[in-house]
Structure 1
Amino acid sequence: MHALGPQWMDPQYLLDTYGTAFFFIALAIVFVECGLFFPILPGDTLLFSVGIFIAGGQLHDNLLVALVGLFLAAIAGNVVGYEIGRGVGSPLRNHDGRIVKRAYFDQTEEFFGRYGARALVLGRFVPVVRTYITVVAGIGRMERRHFVTWSAVGAALWVLVVTLAGYFLGNVGFVKDHLELVILGIVVLSVIPMVVEYLRHRRARGMSPEEVREGSADVVEDLGRS
């Protein structure tokens, strides 16, 4: 699986290198991705891999304990991201750096505007939106109880669907024999929604076809490592 990207983004490498500490690393990565401005972290692939590793006996954590731990890490990241957005507000929104990008806020706000509070559930399955949606909710001063409720629903669904998919598919012959290909497929599928949203956003702003193609290539480059 090392062809997928940097070694620290490769679940198999992390498991082989850190052994039983792998699960705690997974919890830390999920926490950071869900609220601390690192949208390139491999949240989806980690959840899927945790399921596969438990099913295959490579990871000896109890499945239920793993699900609860991942859920708590996700919701804790959400709360931290929300409080950062609520506390810092506009200065953070207007920053345009290498990691905290104004374009990511634009895309997330558009997503939020379209789906309202449901975006906290739907956005959980979309890279970048998953990271920035909680910050946007904080900047907009969404009511805390409302935010925590919808975030908890989104976190539970995300963790259950992706981790259990890995758990039940982990012993399927094709998945076991082509794990790198399956993980790569998850990455591609997770990137597609953001590319589509980007293209729609740019076309709505009247960009030329050449600018749209260049922009979508940038999105793929940024998100393809998720």
Structure 2
Amino acid sequence: MAEWIQHLMDSMGYLGVLLLMVLENLFPPIPSEFILPSAGFAAARGEMSLLGVILAGTAGSVLGTLPLYYIGRAFGEERIVAWADRYGKWLTLRGEDIRKADDWFDRYGTKVILFGRMVPGVRSLLSLPAGMSEMPLPKFLTYSTIGSALWATLLTSAGYFLGENYDQVEHLIGPASKIILGLLVAWAVWIFIRRKKAQANE
């Protein structure tokens, strides 16, 4: 897969980066942790510009969220969960993953999209509950764009500065993602406690 990704970027440049990031959102086994650092290394070699890669990566990531958003909007949770349980193994997707993403969305608010876009394994799935909850499209796109831009900047810059060691980004990003996930959970717990205290005071 790595050779195919590299070939597509070499032959199509920014459009290749955009298309790969669209696919990465639809097929989680295609890793943005490899795509963008590799493109960042290409920018370091002068084959593309750093800003151009970041913009292409962000645009592709945002466009890739739309199919799942509209699927979530068109179908209810139960139908999507049943489909994932039956066919999701081809996309490494389970009905349980859909329910968890939806619970996160319902429990912790729309801001989770902003930070969730930087958590591998969660970032792609958040589009479904956003659609199922009928979150307004402009609001969804705003949060998704900001989160995707931060993620694209982080990965592309890492590949740019690491140079030939860009393939190490995939190993380094794991701990960072866990920190982000931990902060999200801590924030959610704090919101939960604050609401409980407010209800007790009432």
The equivalences for 1:8-27 within 5 A come to 8=1, 10=2, 14-15=5-6, 19-21=10-12, 23-27=14-18
1:142 to 132, 135, 152: 135
- Which residue of 2 is the match for residue 30 of structure 1? 21
Structure 2 unaligned blocks of 5 or more: 183-202
Native 8 Å contact 1:82 1:137 kept in 2: yes
Native 8 Å contact 1:107 1:129 kept in 2: no
- What code does the residue aligned with 1:19 have? D
CA distance in 1, matches of 2:59, 2:126: 17
- What code does the residue aligned with 1:31 have? V
**Distance change in 2, residues 1:194/1:155 (3 Å):** closer
**Distance change in 2, residues 1:39/1:166 (3 Å):** same
Bigger CA drift: 184-193 or 71-80?
184-193
CA distance in 1, matches of 2:38, 2:19: 15
- Which residue of 2 is the match for residue 162 of structure 1? 155
1:54 is the counterpart of 2:43: yes
- What code does the residue aligned with 1:137 have? A
CA distance in 1, matches of 2:108, 2:155: 22
Structure 1, residues 162-211: CA drift from partner, whole Å, max 9, x if none? 212221232xxxxx3x554x144146447757998xxxxxxxxxxxxxxx
TM-score after normalising by structure 2? 0.73
1:185 is the counterpart of 2:163: no
Displacement after TM superposition at 1:77 (Å): 1.1
- What code does the residue aligned with 1:81 have? L
Displacement after TM superposition at 1:83 (Å): 1.2
Native 8 Å contact 1:127 1:194 kept in 2: no
Displacement after TM superposition at 1:32 (Å): 2.1
CA distance in 2, matches of 1:190, 1:103: 24
- Which residue of 2 is the match for residue 86 of structure 1? 73
- Which residue of 2 is the match for residue 205 of structure 1? none
- Which residue of 2 is the match for residue 115 of structure 1? 108
Native 8 Å contact 1:85 1:136 kept in 2: yes
**Distance change in 2, residues 1:183/1:86 (3 Å):** same
- What code does the residue aligned with 1:46 have? I
Native 8 Å contact 1:14 1:22 kept in 2: no
- State the identity %: 27
CA distance in 1, matches of 2:39, 2:100: 29
**Distance change in 2, residues 1:82/1:68 (3 Å):** same
Structure 1 unaligned blocks of 5 or more: 1-7, 171-175, 197-226
1:72 is the counterpart of 2:63: no
Native 8 Å contact 1:89 1:138 kept in 2: no
Name the Cα RMSD after superposition. Answer: 2.8
**Distance change in 2, residues 1:167/1:115 (3 Å):** farther
Displacement after TM superposition at 1:73 (Å): 0.8
Displacement after TM superposition at 1:133 (Å): 0.2
